[in-house]
Amino acid sequence: MAWLIAHGIVCTMEDPPRVIEDGAVAVEGDRIAMVGPTAEVRARYPEAEVLDARGQLVLPGSICAHTHFYGAFARGMPLHDEPPGNFPHILRRLWWRLDRALDEKAVRLSALVCLIDAIRHGTTTLIDHHASPSCIDGSLDILAEAVAEAGLRACLCYEVTDRNGPEGARAGIRENARFIRQVQRWRATGDPRGDLLAASFGLHASFTVGPETMAQAVAEAQALGVGFHIHVAEDAADEGHSLAIYGVRTVERLAREGVLGPQTLCAHCVHIDTREIDLLARTRSKVSHQPRSNMNNAVGVAPVGAMRAAGVTVGLGNDGFSNNMFAEMKTAYLVHKVHARDPRAMGAEEVLAMAYRENARIAALFWPHPLGVIAPGAYADLILLDYRPYTPLTAENLPWHLIFGIDGSHVTTTICGGRVLMKDRQLLTLDEERIAAEARAHVPIVWERFRAIAEAERG
């Protein structure tokens, strides 16, 4: 049975985008059936139930190309150590202690609080990269259950690494393979979980994955017909390690080992050179850019312009920052200008292309129907925003409204797969108050484990 969103300003985010004043979207099942002026759509569906947008913007749900649900409990956490002075210190003193402190309950709650944040800010598709060394087996099922409860769309993987010993690496490989097969079964049997959940094969980074583990992971992924989700040259230390140990730069090593390819997503790529950019382009590997995280970690600014000029698909993620992808768009727009000392760098049109068209290409690795666009046949992942433009809003100037006006705080209604998850800012699938209370009760347990791990490591 079809239903309609009517009387909105529909911004289709097609290439090129259209802006339809008093527009409507017809939804049938989990997909969009028709887009056009309200009068035309209502004439086609005269009996359909109507959600009146009341002049609000209607946009596709945002896509986050790289995130970490597991990092949510770091907010406000004491480090019990000297402040990290570089990126390897940040990993060792923060993230590699926090992920070891997580138990099953923490994995579930950290995912749920991130999913609430995503619904509130209109992010309907998230590509997550998980780590919980003390709770590997079944951890992706815990995340999948949280995602299904929220009603959002997510691609999941487990971070394979040698930093927790051979058994930890083998367990990570098993968890990826098990969950990938499970998703494949869901889709083969028509299980509704397969409509929202997808899987990739997670690797942490070149500098924490040795040759034996890499070869095992590549063989398993090739047998399953999937690509990888891996951090690449986020910091110069990754490149230095690869040159010292393997005699080649990071992207060259990954190409040689069989990691790169059209189904592989490379996060960051901050410190790559022109040869590596060419390798990414020739292998049709995808890249996600996380400017807020890169600034926070002081690792540098990725050569996004050079990658896109070479034909590399570069999308936009958040690396575990808030799921307000409009904030990520604004940061991308600004940081490249100050880095290049050129106000022409990273135009608003480029940011819009990354956030919608390029992210849609990345999402197409994992879902069979289009995302990031309002068009017939695309998934009905839609958001309503109470943004009231006080200058004309047209298809030509839409990118600048996105950068200088529109924000996740404007989102009033979030829809994923034709299901309303939030209406008029009221969450319909998750109990935010209860989940926040559960998280606050459990965080002290996780933080105490973190403190004990820090003390043990200092001896």
Q: What is the pLDDT of residues 133-188, one digit of tens each?
A: 999 999 999 999 999 999 999 999 999 999 999 999 999 999 999 999 999 999 99
Residue 98 to residue 72: CA distance in whole angstroms: 10
Q: Is the pLDDT of residue 310 over 90?
A: yes
Specify whether the CB–CB gap between 73 and 448 falls below 8 A. Answer: no
Helices in 151-235 by DSSP H: which ranges?
A: 165-189, 193-196, 211-224
Q: What is the pLDDT of residues 272-295, one digit of tens each?
A: 999 999 999 999 999 999 999 999
Instruction: Write down the residue that tokens 């990092």 correspond to.
Output: 71
Backbone angles phi, psi at 116, to 5 degrees: -60, -45
**22: helix, coil or strand?**
strand
Q: What is the pLDDT of residues 231-271, one digit of tens each?
A: 999 999 999 999 999 999 999 999 999 999 999 999 999 99
Residue 17 to residue 397: CA distance in whole angstroms: 10
| DSSP notation for 398-410 | HHHHHHHT--GGG
CA angle 286/287/292 to nearest 5° reads 160
- How much is the pLDDT for 344? 96
Q: For residue 428, give the nearest of 88, 120, 61 by alpha carbon.
A: 120
CB atoms within 10 A of CB 421: 24
Q: What is the pLDDT of residues 344-366, one digit of tens each?
A: 999 999 999 999 999 999 999 99
Tokens encoding 385: 């925003």
Helix H or strand E encompassing 35 = strand 31-37
pTM: 0.97
- How much is the pLDDT for 62? 98
Specify whether the CB–CB gap between 314 and 307 falls below 8 A. Answer: yes
Tokens encoding 197: 């959940």
Residue 273 to residue 185: CA distance in whole angstroms: 40
Q: For residue 158, give the nearest of 169, 147, 167 by alpha carbon.
A: 169
Helix H or strand E encompassing 257 = helix 250-257
Specify whether the CB–CB gap between 111 and 69 falls below 8 A. Answer: yes
